[in-house]
Structure 1
Amino acid sequence: MTQIDEFKHALANNRVDESKYFKIRQKRSCKKTVSDKQRKINHLSSKQKKELIKLHADMDKVMIANSKVTRFSDEKQTKRDAKKGNNGKLGVEGIWSSVTFDRYKRSCRTFLKYCYENFDHVKTLRDIKPRMVGGFIQSLLDKNRSAKTISAYVSAIRKLAESSHKAGIKGHASLVNDKHRSMIPDARKANRRRGSVGGVGYTLREAQIIVKQAARLYSLYEETLLCVLLYGCPRLSETLKISFDQIDYDKQCIRLNKKNQNKNNRPRMAPLPPFVMEKLKQLEVYFPNKQTNIWGRMSEKQVRKLVKSCATHGHVKFCSVHDFRKAGLIWHSRQIKDWSKEHLVAAIMQFVSADVKLNPFIQRNGTLSPKYVPDQLLKRQKRWLMNQYLSQLLGHSRNDATSPYKNF
């Protein structure tokens, strides 16, 4: 196939990609279906499936009623507006992000499925009791789940309790109590690491092998996608929403600034090396509408299959798509190692200038001033500046956010 034929094949509405390990047959108009096996409910009877689905539907209703996710407008209230005093993120009622809403919903469905399968007479939300929460946390501990995972599940259950309590289930005011919180292991960021038990994600070399296999087996379309994931360090959900109007060729970066594109709606920029920008330029001519999501025709599941296929052909153990961020962090760490402090400060200021809320005013020596000021940053040690650069690259503001990606 010529390069033009490869592009037409990759961008076709009804694309067929076949190899020994990778196969996609999708029409854009097709409705996505999830099998009982994928839901892990194929062992239940028809009656039990209906009861569990009804339980999930009841949960959806109360969480939707507690959702604050609406279309963006200048007068729209945000989570920051709902904060109580100086409580930070604590005590904010409602769900304010569509990404967070989806994550809570998935976690709560897993929790309700556990309750339905392990306790008798669980058919409505009113039947959920505190002892079931304790049993669920213990089951996660028995499976050797990480402290971060367990903490995320408990946060979702707390939001479910808040939602159902507002819907009239008064007993859920104490659904998650202090005993449950004491069961959660220490979840300090410094102790975390990327990768499942027995694995540490991809090395930089392994990630680059996967990208090379995409170039060999597929087309520039798939290769560029994996290059952006590796060298720009965006999350997968963020990557699939990138369009060409977000690409800044002069500053060699992608501006991730769409509403509901990023985690916690935190806009940022993803710097890319020149050779990746050249690949994007080659792709751009096939997209007359610059607002079209470049890889929007691919689902997250399809990208995972793509990476798994390339990992298999490259004789690399498949970990997860998110672990490209770990390999990308290694690459950027090597790039900035020889930078001067002035260069690092300029790069950090470019990160925080992506949006006004990334550089808020804080009290410093009794006066209000921006959190990040070049003169103040230059007083910091170079190691701190490097960690701050990498944290901003990942979409975080705290320096310890890089620890999970460095631990082996």
Structure 2
Amino acid sequence: MNIDEIKKLQRALSDKPRYKSKHFSGEKKRGKQAGKTKITDKQRRIDHLSSRQRHELIRLHADLDRVMIANSKISRTTANKPTKRDARKGNNGNLGVEGIWSSVTFERYKKSCRTFLKFCYENFDSIRSLRDIKPRMIGKYIEDLKNRGCSAKTISAYVSAIEKMAESSVKAGIKSHAGLVNSKHREMVPTARKAERRRGREGGTGYTLREAQVIIKQARKHYSIYEQVLLELLTYGGSPRISELLRISFDQIDFEKRCIYLNKKNQNKNNRPRMLKLPDIVLEKLKQLEPYFPNKETTIWGHRMSVKQVRGLIKSCAAYGKVKCCAAHDFRKAGLEYQMRRLQKYSKQQLIDSIMEFVSISPQLNPIVNRGGVKTPKYTPEFLASKQIRWLQNQYLTQMLGHSRNDKVCPYKRG
């Protein structure tokens, strides 16, 4: 690094970088808030209701919270803790096992069901408790979602949340909710095919490789190597999710094997361990950053940047480069395009070796399966050798992105 680059890096790692940018300051807020943030009635979109109506709606939401908490299976991690995988699947539509097993899923269901209950309270008379919710209200809600132009995936997610609410209320003693969501409601839900999904909000395309490279170029121009390598990792280094990225530390980087092991607890989606292969452009800059982090367990970006700040950095660089701003997750489309160009040069044996390297980092990635009456690892060199190159390329991308099925890479390929 030259003197100017060193000064930029020192500024980025200082307590108050204060970049002169519309969207990114480089300064993470520290310390505790003076008080709990109060959410106004306008933010809740209930300012049009009277005081009595607001209290009735709040009591309705409290009923929902009570039945969902009773149906929750969330608990602290223990040695022999039962998981969703251990639970027997019940006959409850497409929801799989009974109960709610994830805190993230719990919050998503609760938020969706609160929106549904608010719709029922505003559009139907005499809604005072969960017992007053009837099947016809669900049909009206699905029609309303369609009229508002919601996607098939969004409508399907709302119906799934309502089904889970019905399951919870039946366990709480509201037996009439056993048939709350019926076959007619499911027929009203449009088909949500993964192959038809698009990444990104505007135009549904996410970032192309060229757009991602423009953003990186602007980061090199306006910011330090600290911000540059973050964006390069999103594009060239396996496209980690933003929550995974912020928890990376130098003790997870293997410079000899040229990779990052995402193996911290709760770092990855579904706690699925993962390996990111690093190209030279990312590896060299990480080596330059390493001396500035004497404690190798310190998160490289997470201790200085929040999720909001990463988004601000992307938005700022996109504005400088006059590129549309999507989300951090939309770098995965650009990353997939970059990786596909690389994989065209790989031989079949190189693909097999790479996939085996991915799945060898944890038994969770290569479980024992029953194949033809014989118990064997899911992935073996012999099994992979029987597959076509296109399947192997998709499997490589699946492992790189931290997915469990090959078809999940389709949304990033299309658009």
Normalising by the residue count of structure 1, what TM-score does the alignment of the two structures yield?
0.87
The separation in 1 between residues aligned to 2:233 and 2:106, in whole angstroms, is: 26
CA distance 1:229–1:181, change in 2 (3 Å): same
Alignment match, 1:183:
188
* Partner deviation per Cα, 1:223-276 (whole Å, 9 max, x = no partner): 222222222222222222333332222322222223332222222222221221
**CA RMSD between the two structures:** 3.2
Alignment match, 1:26:
29
CA distance 1:387–1:86, change in 2 (3 Å): farther
Q: 285-294 vs 356-365, which deviates more?
A: 285-294
3-state SS of 2:261 partner: strand
What runs of 5+ residues in structure 1 fail to find an aligned partner? Answer: none
* Structure 1 residue identity aligned to 2:22: K
Alignment match, 1:41:
45
Task: Quote how far apart the aligned CAs of 1:381 are.
Answer: 0.8
Q: 98-107 vs 15-24, which deviates more?
A: 15-24
Please, which of 96, 106, 131 is the counterpart of residue 91 of structure 1? 96
- Aligned ranges 1:66-105 → 2 under 5 Å: 66-84=71-89, 91-105=96-110
The separation in 1 between residues aligned to 2:141 and 2:91, in whole angstroms, is: 33
2:414 is the alignment partner of 1:407: yes
2:269 is the alignment partner of 1:269: no
Please, which of 104, 112, 117 is the counterpart of residue 107 of structure 1? 112
Task: Quote how far apart the aligned CAs of 1:2 are.
Answer: 5.7
Task: Quote how far apart the aligned CAs of 1:60 are.
Answer: 3.9
Please tell me whether the aligned partners of residues 15 and 27 of structure 1 are also in contact (alpha carbons under 8 angstroms).
no
Alignment match, 1:194:
199
Alignment match, 1:63:
68
Please tell me whether the aligned partners of residues 89 and 98 of structure 2 are also in contact (alpha carbons under 8 angstroms).
no
3-state SS of 2:85 partner: helix
Alignment match, 2:296:
290
Alignment match, 2:170:
165
Please, which of 211, 225, 230 is the counterpart of residue 230 of structure 2? 225
* Partner deviation per Cα, 1:42-64 (whole Å, 9 max, x = no partner): 74457355555554454444434
3-state SS of 1:254 partner: strand
- The higher radius of gyration belongs to 2
Please tell me whether the aligned partners of residues 250 and 296 of structure 2 are also in contact (alpha carbons under 8 angstroms).
yes
CA distance 1:172–1:316, change in 2 (3 Å): same
CA distance 1:180–1:13, change in 2 (3 Å): farther
* Structure 2 residue identity aligned to 1:77: P
Aligned-pair identity (%): 61
* Partner deviation per Cα, 1:288-344 (whole Å, 9 max, x = no partner): 443333333433333223222221111011122211111111111111111011110
Q: 323-332 vs 47-56, which deviates more?
A: 47-56
The separation in 2 between residues aligned to 1:141 and 1:3, in whole angstroms, is: 52
Please tell me whether the aligned partners of residues 164 and 172 of structure 1 are also in contact (alpha carbons under 8 angstroms).
yes
Alignment match, 1:385:
392
* Structure 1 residue identity aligned to 2:251: D
Please, which of 216, 232, 235 is the counterpart of residue 241 of structure 2? 235
* Partner deviation per Cα, 1:164-219 (whole Å, 9 max, x = no partner): 33333333333322222112222222232323463311110101211222333333
* Structure 2 residue identity aligned to 1:144: G
CA distance 1:218–1:78, change in 2 (3 Å): same
Task: Quote how far apart the aligned CAs of 1:348 are.
Answer: 1.0
Please tell me whether the aligned partners of residues 315 and 325 of structure 2 are also in contact (alpha carbons under 8 angstroms).
yes
Task: Quote how far apart the aligned CAs of 1:385 are.
Answer: 0.6
* Structure 2 residue identity aligned to 1:325: R
* Structure 2 residue identity aligned to 1:348: I
3-state SS of 1:293 partner: coil
The separation in 1 between residues aligned to 2:313 and 2:56, in whole angstroms, is: 36
Please tell me whether the aligned partners of residues 388 and 397 of structure 1 are also in contact (alpha carbons under 8 angstroms).
no
What runs of 5+ residues in structure 2 fail to find an aligned partner? Answer: none
The separation in 2 between residues aligned to 1:338 and 1:247, in whole angstroms, is: 26
* Structure 2 residue identity aligned to 1:267: P
* Structure 1 residue identity aligned to 2:403: H
CA distance 1:163–1:229, change in 2 (3 Å): farther
CA distance 1:124–1:259, change in 2 (3 Å): farther
Please tell me whether the aligned partners of residues 227 and 276 of structure 1 are also in contact (alpha carbons under 8 angstroms).
yes
Alignment match, 1:305:
312
The separation in 2 between residues aligned to 1:158 and 1:20, in whole angstroms, is: 44
Task: Quote how far apart the aligned CAs of 1:90 are.
Answer: 5.5
The separation in 2 between residues aligned to 1:257 and 1:51, in whole angstroms, is: 46
Q: 392-401 vs 299-308, which deviates more?
A: 299-308
* Partner deviation per Cα, 1:354-377 (whole Å, 9 max, x = no partner): 321222222222211111111111
Please tell me whether the aligned partners of residues 84 and 91 of structure 1 are also in contact (alpha carbons under 8 angstroms).
yes
Please tell me whether the aligned partners of residues 241 and 261 of structure 1 are also in contact (alpha carbons under 8 angstroms).
yes
Normalising by the residue count of structure 2, what TM-score does the alignment of the two structures yield?
0.86
The separation in 2 between residues aligned to 1:13 and 1:42, in whole angstroms, is: 41
* Structure 2 residue identity aligned to 1:20: K
- Aligned ranges 1:120-139 → 2 under 5 Å: 120-139=125-144
